[in-house]
Amino acid sequence: MKFFVFSWPKMQNQFDYKGYIIYNLHVFISKTLTYSLLFLLITSSVVAQEQNPNKPNSKGNNMKKKIFVFLFDGFSDWEISYLTPEINKSEQFDLVYFSKHGNSVSSMGGLQVKPILSLSEINIDDIDMLILPGGTAWEKGENNEITKLTQAVFEKGKPIAAICAATTYLGQLGLLDNLKHTSNDVNYLKAVAPEYRGADNYQNVLAVTDRNIITANGIAPIEFSREIFRTIGLYNDIELEKWFQLFKNGIWSE
């Protein structure tokens, strides 16, 4: 136990010791209450953050843009394998993986992945980009549970990136009808997505961005990544070209 000793000034004249003691006690109690309150505020903030690590805080995650990646059984893991490491190591972005129910999924390559969120836990306002990897599930008419989310992201003008079979899903929703886009082939889009009406805007390229939609051929995960990096501003033009030449052509430049 600590004892507080007050200094008694040596004064020849009469001194109000009672008033002096009351004043010091008042200062002591005020400081104690202030420090206690600050301690409680800091402690409660830390506890709240630990209980909900995905909730933004004033100096951390709220400054990062969130890139949402939809995962499902049989998703084409290699189609997002170039872009996810680059985004994940950046301090500007958070990768948020989600599935229908938040349960573990198995990629086409047998990779077991436990997503961070379920579809029902997503707040549309948290999404800064939505990425849809390919997989045969799209060709089977599956994954329709994300239709409401996808349409909402599109209507808000936020970027949506789809590769390979996932482009047929956007075509089926009519999101490709009035903008430039690509896929594995225009006839592939017509066959898999009966509601597709965007053939006049089809681009015979590996990847393309028009407004808030990024699409790519299934054989172009590197070009797909480049379009995403350019859209979110991950790298400047020089850095982006160096990255592309390294992974596409094996050319390293200082």
Residues labelled as active-site residues:
164
Tokens of residue 32, six digits: 């104690």
Which letter does DSSP use for residue 24 in this model?
H
42, 125, 159, 192, 198 from 170: Cα distances, Å: 46, 21, 13, 11, 11
Q: How far is CA 22 from CA 29, 50, 126, in A?
A: 11, 42, 54
Q: What whole-number distance in Å separates Cα of residue 100 and Cα of residue 184? A: 26
Contact at 8 Å (CB) between 79 and 218?
yes
Q: Are 107 and 75 in contact (CB under 8 A)?
A: yes
Q: Between the CA of residue 18 and those of 12, 32, 41, 86, 248, what are the distances in Å? A: 17, 21, 35, 69, 83
